[in-house]
Amino acid sequence: MQAPRHDASDGDGKELFGRRAERAGAVPLWTFFKEWFPGEPRSEAVGHLWRYDQLRPLLLEAADVISADAAERRVLALENPGLPGRRTVTEALYAGLQLIVPGEIAPSHRHTAAALRFIIEGRGAYTAVSGERAYMEPGDFIVTPSWTWHEHGHEGDGPTVWLDVLDVPLVRFLGTGFSEHHPQKRYPESRPPGDSRRRYGSNMAPAGYRRDPHAASPVFSYGYAAARETLVGLAANGPLDPCDGIKLEYIDPTSGGPAIPTISTFLQWLPAGFATKPYATTAGTVCVAVEGHGRVTIGTGDRARSFDFGPRDIWAVPSWQPVQLVAQTDAVVFSASDEAAQRKLGLWRERRDS
Amino acid sequence: MQAPRHDASDGDGKELFGRRAERAGAVPLWTFFKEWFPGEPRSEAVGHLWRYDQLRPLLLEAADVISADAAERRVLALENPGLPGRRTVTEALYAGLQLIVPGEIAPSHRHTAAALRFIIEGRGAYTAVSGERAYMEPGDFIVTPSWTWHEHGHEGDGPTVWLDVLDVPLVRFLGTGFSEHHPQKRYPESRPPGDSRRRYGSNMAPAGYRRDPHAASPVFSYGYAAARETLVGLAANGPLDPCDGIKLEYIDPTSGGPAIPTISTFLQWLPAGFATKPYATTAGTVCVAVEGHGRVTIGTGDRARSFDFGPRDIWAVPSWQPVQLVAQTDAVVFSASDEAAQRKLGLWRERRDS
Amino acid sequence: MQAPRHDASDGDGKELFGRRAERAGAVPLWTFFKEWFPGEPRSEAVGHLWRYDQLRPLLLEAADVISADAAERRVLALENPGLPGRRTVTEALYAGLQLIVPGEIAPSHRHTAAALRFIIEGRGAYTAVSGERAYMEPGDFIVTPSWTWHEHGHEGDGPTVWLDVLDVPLVRFLGTGFSEHHPQKRYPESRPPGDSRRRYGSNMAPAGYRRDPHAASPVFSYGYAAARETLVGLAANGPLDPCDGIKLEYIDPTSGGPAIPTISTFLQWLPAGFATKPYATTAGTVCVAVEGHGRVTIGTGDRARSFDFGPRDIWAVPSWQPVQLVAQTDAVVFSASDEAAQRKLGLWRERRDS
Amino acid sequence: MQAPRHDASDGDGKELFGRRAERAGAVPLWTFFKEWFPGEPRSEAVGHLWRYDQLRPLLLEAADVISADAAERRVLALENPGLPGRRTVTEALYAGLQLIVPGEIAPSHRHTAAALRFIIEGRGAYTAVSGERAYMEPGDFIVTPSWTWHEHGHEGDGPTVWLDVLDVPLVRFLGTGFSEHHPQKRYPESRPPGDSRRRYGSNMAPAGYRRDPHAASPVFSYGYAAARETLVGLAANGPLDPCDGIKLEYIDPTSGGPAIPTISTFLQWLPAGFATKPYATTAGTVCVAVEGHGRVTIGTGDRARSFDFGPRDIWAVPSWQPVQLVAQTDAVVFSASDEAAQRKLGLWRERRDS
């Protein structure tokens, strides 16, 4: 065989070739090579902020539109404006605000998608995981790991709202989604509240305990009061990271890994007046202001978008867009991203301009 | 607050509510809950087989349509008929047939997507990874790991064709795609051919070598002759697995993990007359017949599709669709799937009916 | 060559052969095969209990015999009566009672042997590890990891005594002992007390923290009050293990592994009246009663030894000797063993008669 | 309490105190602190070389002194002259020369100590591990992992001798020695020779294989011919390491770890005329010359000892003594050390003067 004689630079010829390829179930790579192999990631998602004050009335109204029982989960999913019709907050994560009202039960089910609940408002509701309840206070962080039975209930006397974040877009993309309803609305109570945290979350673990390396964290509830005190203490000890202030990751203390195998979760403290240096990561991230007021800038140049934020506001940061935070008051920010999944796959990258 | 008074079962009311939610950047979960949380995975991809005899003329013609240099890589991507416009062979994997002709160089570049090359026909071409060449024989399996410089060249005298499989759909989904051209067309030669296999692939490793747990396999070339001999030897030793016959996974001998961190790769031997029991996995899979003739059935019931296959034919198996193989002659099948990525994320499942 | 013609069953011939072998630097294996390959472990160490009331006066007197500065560490090492001259409490562990008096400094040094300090009495003393102080309360557990600078000081106003346990016999056996004096008596203060526990021991860790898999736990101080509360809470939740009661292991929360890479450490709760079933492990163990009274039986048959114990009494359990505890009052027992080292080497075994 | 008033520098007073402590089962640490915490390791073992020509006649004579059956294993253990009565070649390792003659069976047993066999001379003998035989050629390296049934037999027609190296001193030190005789002299044949190497040692592994992280390597036989060819090939590729020449470690290809969890094993190539730079490690090491002649120097200054070596000579290197090798001809050296155990315990150190 000889080297090719010439390039068929004739556009019509190439197009014709493309159509013949298509009929054979194939597509010339050169027609989309540049799109698929860019110099750096270009997510279609955009930086966006949802004001809690605007969503709250709609969410409360949802209680009249549908029951928790009929909805299975009464949630308003936050859809990234750059991903219309996708129903996701970033490429790989879903986020939504879930409402439960006193007396309701969101019935027991399980799914391979992992979920976290970050409590926005209300007291007296709970999530039960495999029959152990974690009661909710604002700022608490609760995990319902992959394929664990869980239900939500409410024994208090006002609406309770939390932010759900799930890896379900990733699970769906991979074709790995299973789910199941429990035959009973409530999974039988198995252990008293707080048992798992005591047993595994006190820098101790049961003698002889050996962890399945792929299992989820046996600690599934992380209280806000203790986490906040930790942040404040470390802020006093210093120093502050130029990009992060004081930023801690929730971990599984029986492995040191992330609290959720696929989702990294963080709590961050910024003292009043602190302005972070730009920080970019390939992980798509959803954030919620727990306390304080400030301003967040997402992206650079033409794509830069800035938003003022106050307590309970939620924002999304797409992959590889630099973020800067300015804290007008002391501020606490919770965030969740697919960093954990990306790290396991060897794909995570970060850039610090500090 | 009281429990909700009633369900707004009025469809119009719900639709109105949905539109108002949409304006606030939100979507009621209950409108897509069932779609997103099915009992088991329902991939849109379909079982499909591409006959090499049909693709080969088109591929050879491509050498006249575009040069390797202009195309960067002269590939016909196999598009799953169930995923039109997606250009992927399964949800998470891309596969294509790449042609290189004598004297050509497909220039040096690198990307975060990992790639494998399974040689279909031709001799005398090579892939160079970080400056070490692996020369190609039909049936050889070569890896170009994530973010390693690689180019292809051809010093023989006929067309060389291989099957490319990349995790680039997953990499794009996660927003983690980086790529870069090398300033030179060829990366400088660093080591003689075969050095890496000698150094790391002889059940030995350099004294003091300690592997980065996230790094790719230092062995990047797996010859067919040795692999085939291994399969035949084990088939003689027995027993055969009802679902698999004799099926081995290519591994990174410095970790025991998959040869590619995100892609599992297998070589399988079926003696003439052997019929496998149905086997399903959540991993989307692309297969190529290396030797032999037989019949593959993908899916069950209405979705079942059967194809006769011969040497060099390629087929795709979507997530969770059971597969059965019947070998009319002794047959060898190579396969690649996203099992490795799914396992790392704790999402992989299998079902054996044996 | 032919098969051997006969056995030289003549004892004299064998002895002569042995002497000739000896001159060649060799020893016939058959002369010690049975001793070296017993059916199960037969430690020369014995079960033994040291009464704190008997050791305390001697220890206080030591303050007049030698200064902390001259002694470097003012310790009475507990020597197992079955291992005379070995100065070890079990085969692989050293244990001793260390005294520090107000105003003293036991100067900064480091060594490859890892050490733990379990506080027996006194308040106001501290251990500083890499410049961070951990102040001592009875029942606290402090680690000075391998090759970390550490010193002890005392700012309170009574004697402080703790139990030291080190892996130094193992380190010496392997020929891996290094040590070094710091040029200054005190290592410079680096962080405020409690910083490490906050930073790594709150079920959170600094964002981006990635642990060296061979490093020691960054948490090096485990308070008694919290650990005791955890045990009491779990005892209320139940159930109790027949061999253990409630027994927790101190862990490194950044890995889930033992608090010390070579030494496993436990805190155990036995309610009044509880009698444990026999439990044997290959790990040599040293125990101290933190609270309560009871009786411990070590070994079975002829080797069985029983001891009454009260607060602060210390006992040693040799490898593979079954232990039974009877709690006359609610009792708390701290224990340390070489289980962690044995597990890493694949050598640890246990037997439960329950 | 006050600070101590004075040092009892009076030697008699200290000695009296020591005797009173002894009666209480305690020893003042300050009497042995310096011995136990030296600046660097000071093994009592010495560098020593055993000439095979001197041991061989004695070993052959042993065939007349005792049968393999009566001896269980007919071995002359090499005792380090610095460790008289210890019967060990280094502190933690045992080594011996084992002889088996045609027709003999060294009966099936198992023990927690791990063993390796490095074949010195003879053909036609085999070791069976869990019923799979590995036939022996000079230079082959065979593992009988911890707690696996194994026997030796001989179907050839001359004496076969190999070097045994076991971690039994470490196993005994830790009190973890179990052993058991198989009810039959021979364990039933389970798989054909070579099956394990095929199945796990071809840079492939059975599909679905997931390794127990504490298990031994499923590959237990490493042939000399292939290993030698690898070394020669890499020596040609270069470069040579100043301390090592070309030195490869035998690995478990299903984990990348050492072939034996507690014992590191190496094969090293030195071209004629090559002189290595001094290299010291904390691991006690036993070496055997497979091919070639040269000179080895162990230790420095007063402790330095030099030995000429030829094929089949064996030498011991104590912890932390620098070694230099000079190859008079092309030389191949096999070595085994407790580096693997020391690494797992975080205790291994090396020093390179290059």
Provide the β-strand partners of residue A296.
A307, A325
Interface check for C15 against chain A (CB to CB < 8 A): the answer is: no
Residue D147 within any structural domain of the chain: yes
Confidence grade of residue D2 (pLDDT, cut at 50, 70, 90): very low
The b/e string for A214-247 (b: 16+ C-beta within 10 A; e otherwise) is eebbbbbbbbbeebbebbbbbbeeeebbebbbbb
Write the CB contacts of B80 (distance below 8 Å, at least 6 apart in sequence).
B45, B46, B48, B86, B88, B89, B90, B316, B318
pLDDT above 50 (res C78) = yes
Please list every residue in chain C whose beta carbon sits closer than 8 Å to the beta carbon of residue D146: 346-347
Mean pLDDT over D78-91 rounds to 98
Instruction: Name the strand (E) or helix (H) holding B171.
Output: helix B168-174
Chain-centroid distance, C-alpha A39: 26
Distance CA B175, CA A27 (A): 23
Interior CA angle at D208 toward D204 and D214, to 5°? 80
Residue A57 within any structural domain of the chain: yes
Distance CA B209, CA C296 (A): 48
For residue A8, the model assigns a pLDDT of 47
Q: What is the pLDDT of residues A288-317, one digit of tens each?
A: 999 999 999 999 988 899 999 999 999 999
- Test B198 with D234 for CB contact under 8 angstroms: yes
- Test D157 with C1 for CB contact under 8 angstroms: yes
Question: For residue B122, what is the nearest residue in chain A, using CA coordinates?
Answer: A1
pLDDT above 90 (res C104) = yes
Q: B189 exposed, middle or buried (CB, 10 Å; 0-12, 13-18, 19+)?
A: exposed
The angle that helices B11-23 and A52-65 make with each other, rounded to 10 degrees, is 170
Residue D12 within any structural domain of the chain: no
Distance CA C109, CA C94 (A): 18
For residue B8, the model assigns a pLDDT of 47
Would you say A1 and B102 are in contact if contact means Cβ atoms under 8 Å apart?
yes
Residue C277 within any structural domain of the chain: yes
Closest CA to B116 of B227, B226, B269, B220: B220
Helix, strand, or coil (residue B16): helix
Would you say B314 and B288 are in contact if contact means Cβ atoms under 8 Å apart?
yes
Mean pLDDT over C200-229 rounds to 92
Question: For residue C230, what is the nearest residue in chain A, using CA coordinates?
Answer: A198
Provide the β-strand partners of residue B332.
B269, B291
pLDDT above 90 (res A4) = no
Please list every residue in chain B whose beta carbon sits closer than 8 Å to the beta carbon of residue A28: 62, 65-66, 71, 75-77
Determine the distance in angstroms separating the CA of B227 from the nearest CA of chain D, rounded to an integer. Answer: 7
The amino acid at residue B301 is G
Instruction: Name the strand (E) or helix (H) holding A144.
Output: strand A141-144
For residue B9, the model assigns a pLDDT of 52
Provide the β-strand partners of residue C327.
C294
Please compute Rg for chain C using Cα positions.
23
* Residue whose pair of structure tokens reads 């989960």 in the numeric block: A73
**D130 C-beta neighbours (distance < 10 Å), count:** 18
pLDDT above 80 (res D78) = yes
Helix, strand, or coil (residue B290): strand
For residue D4, the model assigns a pLDDT of 43
Closest CA to D25 of B7, C314, C101, C242: C314
Determine the distance in angstroms separating the CA of C321 from the nearest CA of chain D, rounded to an integer. Answer: 11
Distance CA C174, CA C169 (A): 9
Peptide bond into B57 cis (omega under 30): no
Please list every residue in chain C whose beta carbon sits closer than 8 Å to the beta carbon of residue A249: 204-209
Interface check for A178 against chain C (CB to CB < 8 A): the answer is: no
Distance CA B314, CA B316 (A): 7
Distance CA C245, CA C330 (A): 11
For residue C10, the model assigns a pLDDT of 65
Residue C248 within any structural domain of the chain: yes
Q: C323 exposed, middle or buried (CB, 10 Å; 0-12, 13-18, 19+)?
A: buried
Would you say D337 and D281 are in contact if contact means Cβ atoms under 8 Å apart?
yes
Mean pLDDT over C112-122 rounds to 98
Inter-chain CB pairs, A–B, below 8 Å: 307
Closest CA to B25 of D46, A96, C157: A96
Interface check for A323 against chain B (CB to CB < 8 A): the answer is: no
* Residue whose pair of structure tokens reads 């698929």 in the numeric block: A36
Which of D202, D230, D253 has the CB atom closest to B256's CB atom? D253
Helix, strand, or coil (residue D141): strand
Interface check for C58 against chain D (CB to CB < 8 A): the answer is: yes
Please list every residue in chain B whose beta carbon sits closer than 8 Å to the beta carbon of residue A43: 175
Closest CA to A152 of A54, A39, A72: A72
Q: What tens-digit pLDDT sequence spans chain B (354 residues)? A: 444 444 445 677 888 999 999 999 999 999 999 999 999 999 999 999 999 999 999 999 999 999 888 899 999 999 999 999 999 999 999 999 999 999 999 999 999 999 999 999 999 999 999 999 999 999 999 999 999 999 999 999 999 999 999 999 999 999 999 999 999 999 999 999 999 999 999 999 999 998 887 778 999 999 999 999 999 999 999 999 999 999 999 999 999 999 999 999 999 999 999 999 999 999 999 999 999 999 999 999 888 999 999 999 999 999 999 999 999 999 999 999 999 999 999 999 999 986
Would you say C90 and C149 are in contact if contact means Cβ atoms under 8 Å apart?
no
The 3 state secondary structure assigned to chain C is: CCCCCCCCCCHHHHHHHHHHHHHCCEEEHHHCHHHHCCCCCCCCCCCEEECHHHHHHHHHHHHHHCCHHHHCCCEEEECCCCCCCCCCCCCCCEEEEEEECCCCEEEEEEECCCEEEEEEECCCEEEEECCEEEECCCCCEEEECCCCCEEEEECCCCCEEEEEEECHHHHHHHCCCCEEECCCCCCCCCECCCHHHHHHCCCEEECCCCCCCCCCCCCCEECHHHHHHHHHHHHHHCCCECCCEEEEEEECCCCCCECCCCCEEEEEEECCCCECCCEEECCCEEEEEEECCEEEEECCHHHCEEEEECCCCEEEECCCCCEEEEECCCEEEEEEECHHHHHHCCCCCEEECC
Q: What is the pLDDT of residues C156-184, one digit of tens each?
A: 999 999 999 999 999 999 999 999 999 99
Phi, psi at residue D352, to the nearest 5°? Answer: -115, 125
* Residue whose pair of structure tokens reads 């013949």 in the numeric block: A20
Interface check for D269 against chain B (CB to CB < 8 A): the answer is: no
State the complex-level ipTM.
0.95
The tokens of B319 are what? 């997530």
Percent of chain D at pLDDT exceeding 90: 90
Provide the β-strand partners of residue C142.
C117, C221
Q: Supply the range of the domain harboring residue D200.
A: 48-352
Interface check for B261 against chain A (CB to CB < 8 A): the answer is: yes
Write the CB contacts of A51 (distance below 8 Å, at least 6 apart in sequence).
A313
The 3 state secondary structure assigned to B115-127 is: EEEEEEECCCEEE
Which residue blocks in D160-317 are alpha helix, DSSP H?
168-173, 195-200, 224-237
Q: A52 exposed, middle or buried (CB, 10 Å; 0-12, 13-18, 19+)?
A: buried
pLDDT above 50 (res A6) = no
Which of C14, C62, C347 has the CB atom closest to D65's CB atom? C14
Write the CB contacts of D162 (distance below 8 Å, at least 6 apart in sequence).
D97, D98, D117, D118, D119, D120, D136, D142
Interface check for B173 against chain D (CB to CB < 8 A): the answer is: no
Confidence grade of residue C214 (pLDDT, cut at 50, 70, 90): confident
Distance CA C27, CA D77 (A): 5
The tokens of B181 are what? 């051209």
For residue D135, the model assigns a pLDDT of 98
For chain C, the domain total comes to 1
Distance CA A160, CA C5 (A): 90
Q: What is the DSSP string of A242-261?
A: TTTBEEEEEB-TTTSSBSSS
On average, the pLDDT of chain C sits at 95
Phi, psi at residue D310, to the nearest 5°? Answer: -135, 180
Closest CA to B298 of B40, B43, B35: B43
Mean pLDDT over D141-162 rounds to 97
Q: What is the pLDDT of residues D294-309, one digit of tens each?
A: 999 999 988 899 999 9
Confidence grade of residue C317 (pLDDT, cut at 50, 70, 90): very high
- Strand pairing class (D221-222; C279-281): unpaired
Distance CA A161, CA A152 (A): 11
Confidence grade of residue A13 (pLDDT, cut at 50, 70, 90): confident
Question: Which range, of A137-146, C225-234, D295-304, averages the lowest pLDDT?
Answer: D295-304
Residue B43 within any structural domain of the chain: no
Q: What is the pLDDT of residues A244-283, one digit of tens each?
A: 999 999 999 999 999 999 999 999 999 999 999 999 999 9
For residue C13, the model assigns a pLDDT of 82
pTM: 0.95
Q: What is the pLDDT of residues D106-117, one digit of tens each?
A: 999 999 999 999
The angle that helices C52-65 and D11-23 make with each other, rounded to 10 degrees, is 170
Distance CA A40, CA A242 (A): 24
- CATH code for position A128: 2.60.120.10
On average, the pLDDT of chain D sits at 95
Confidence grade of residue A214 (pLDDT, cut at 50, 70, 90): confident
The amino acid at residue A114 is A
Mean pLDDT over D50-75 rounds to 94
Question: Which range, of A9-23, A226-240, C247-261, D117-131, averages the lowest pLDDT?
Answer: A9-23
Residue B248 within any structural domain of the chain: yes
Distance CA D61, CA B321 (A): 68
pLDDT above 50 (res C191) = yes
Instruction: Name the strand (E) or helix (H) holding D11.
Output: helix D11-23
Confidence grade of residue A3 (pLDDT, cut at 50, 70, 90): very low
Determine the distance in angstroms separating the CA of B58 from the nearest CA of chain A, rounded to an integer. Answer: 7
Chain-centroid distance, C-alpha A212: 24
- Test D91 with C174 for CB contact under 8 angstroms: yes
